[in-house]
C-alpha cells in the first residue's frame, strides 16, 4: 500500500550504519563534519517527515487510484517498464527540485534540507514534514496519468530518494567517469553550497544528465571550497524552528501584501534570500 515508506524504513539500519561509520572516521581524522545537536535535529526531522509522508499517502492513495483510471496507456509490470518508470521519475524529480529553488511555496519546505551548516550522511535525513502541503506529490501525477500504477510510481520515488542518501558526504571526493552520468557526492556538495558560484545548481536526483542538458550543471572546483547552509544568517537545532522558518516569513509577507500581485509574489514568486530580497 505504501511502498515508499516500507523501502526507506527497511534501509534505515543501512543509513544509520553509514552515519555512525562516517562520524567515527571523520572524528578520528579531526574533521568537524558532525555536531551531535545538528545530527539529532536531522533525526527528529526525518521521523516527522516520514510520519507526514505516511499520513499523506494514506489520505491521497484513493485519489491516485481514481486518477489512474484516466491513464493514457496500459503499462504492464516488467523489468523494462520499471526501468522506464525510474528514468521518467528521475526526470520529473529534476524539475520538482529545480522548481523548489525558484518557487517560494516549494522552497518553504525544501529550505529545511539546505539549512544545516554541516554536510554529512545525516544531512540526507533533514527533510520537512510540510512536503505534502507544498505539493511534492503533484510532480508524480503525470506518471499515473500516463499509465504507471501508483505502487510502481512511489516505489521508484523511494529508490531515487534512497540513492540520494549516499551523495550527502564529504568523505568521497570524485568518482572518475561516473561523474559524467550520475549524481555524485562532488556534484551534490555543489548543490548544498551557498557560494554565489554554486547556488541553484546540480538539481539531479540519480542522473546528472538532466543538469547537463538543461544548463544547471556546475562542477566542484578545488579553488572554491563549498560553504554549506543558506544565504541567510540562520542557525538553529530546534526541529520546529527549522521546519517553519520560511513558512513564517512567507506568511508574514502574504499578510502584509497590498495587492493580489504582491500576494501572489509573496507565495509563488522567487524565494527571498540574502542578496536578492
**DSSP string over 2-26:** -HHHHHHHHTHHHHHHHHHHHHHHH
Is residue 22 within 8 A of residue 120, CB to CB? The reply is yes
> What pLDDT does residue 5 have?
60
Beta bridge partner(s), residue 193: 228
Is residue 63 within 8 A of residue 153, CB to CB? The reply is no
Q: Give the model confidence (pLDDT) of 128-140 as tens digits.
A: 999 999 999 999 9
Count H helices and E strands in the chain, helices first.
12, 0
Q: Give the model confidence (pLDDT) of 59-90 as tens digits.
A: 999 999 999 999 999 999 999 999 999 999 99
Find how far residue 53's CA is from the centre of its chain. 13
pTM > 0.85: yes or no: yes
> Helix 79-100 and helix 150-165: axis angle, to 10°?
60
Q: How many angstroms separate the CA atoms of 131 and 53, rounded?
A: 8
**Closest to 35 measured CA to CA, from 235, 246, 244:** 235
Cell triple for 122: 545525516
Domain boundaries, given as residue ranges, for the chain: 3-268
Q: Give the model confidence (pLDDT) of 224-275 as tens digits.
A: 999 999 999 898 999 999 999 999 999 999 999 999 999 999 999 999 876 4
Q: Give the model confidence (pLDDT) of 88-118 as tens digits.
A: 999 999 999 999 999 999 999 999 999 999 9
Amino acid at each position: 500500500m505504501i511502498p515508499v515508506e516500507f523501502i526507506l524504513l527497511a534501509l534505515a539500519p543501512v543509513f544509520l550504519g553509514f552515519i555512525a561509520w562516517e562520524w567515527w572516521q571523520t572524528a578520528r581524522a579531526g574533521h568537524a563534519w558532525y555536531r551531535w545537536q545538528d545530527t539529532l535535529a536531522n533525526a527528529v526531522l526525518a521521523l516527522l517527515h516520514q510520519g507526514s509522508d505516511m499520513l499523506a499517502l494514506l489520505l491521497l492513495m484513493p485519489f491516485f487510484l481514481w486518477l489512474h483510471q484516466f491513464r493514457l496507456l496500459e503499462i504492464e509490470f516488467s523489468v523494462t517498464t520499471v526501468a522506464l518508470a525510474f528514468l521518467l521519475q528521475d526526470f520529473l524529480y529534476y524539475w520538482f527540485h529545480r522548481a523548489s529553488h525558484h518557487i517560494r511555496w516549494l522552497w518553504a519546505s525544501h529550505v529545511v534540507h539546505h539549512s544545516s551548516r554541516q554536510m554529512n550522511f545525516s544531512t540526507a535525513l533533514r527533510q520537512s514534514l510540510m512536503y505534502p502541503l507544498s505539493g511534492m506529490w503533484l510532480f508524480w501525477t503525470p506518471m499515473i496519468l500516463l499509465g504507471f500504477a501508483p505502487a510502481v510510481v512511489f516505489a521508484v520515488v523511494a529508490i531515487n530518494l534512497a540513492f540520494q542518501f549516499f551523495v550527502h558526504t564529504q568523505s568521497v571526493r570524485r568518482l572518475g567517469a561516473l561523474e559524467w552520468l550520475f549524481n555524485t557526492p562532488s556534484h551534490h556538495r555543489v548543490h548544498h553550497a551557498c557560494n554565489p558560484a554554486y547556488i541553484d545548481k546540480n538539481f539531479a536526483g540519480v542522473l546528472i544528465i538532466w543538469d547537463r542538458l538543461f544548463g544547471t550543471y556546475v562542477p566542484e572546483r578545488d579553488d572554491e571550497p563549498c560553504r554549506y547552509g543558506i544565504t541567510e544568517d540562520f542557525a538553529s537545532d530546534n526541529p520546529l524552528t527549522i521546519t517553519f522558518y520560511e513558512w513564517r516569513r512567507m506568511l508574514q509577507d502574504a499578510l502584509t501584501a497590498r495587492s493580489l500581485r504582491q500576494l501572489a509574489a509573496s507565495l509563488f514568486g522567487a524565494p527571498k534570500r540574502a542578496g536578492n530580497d
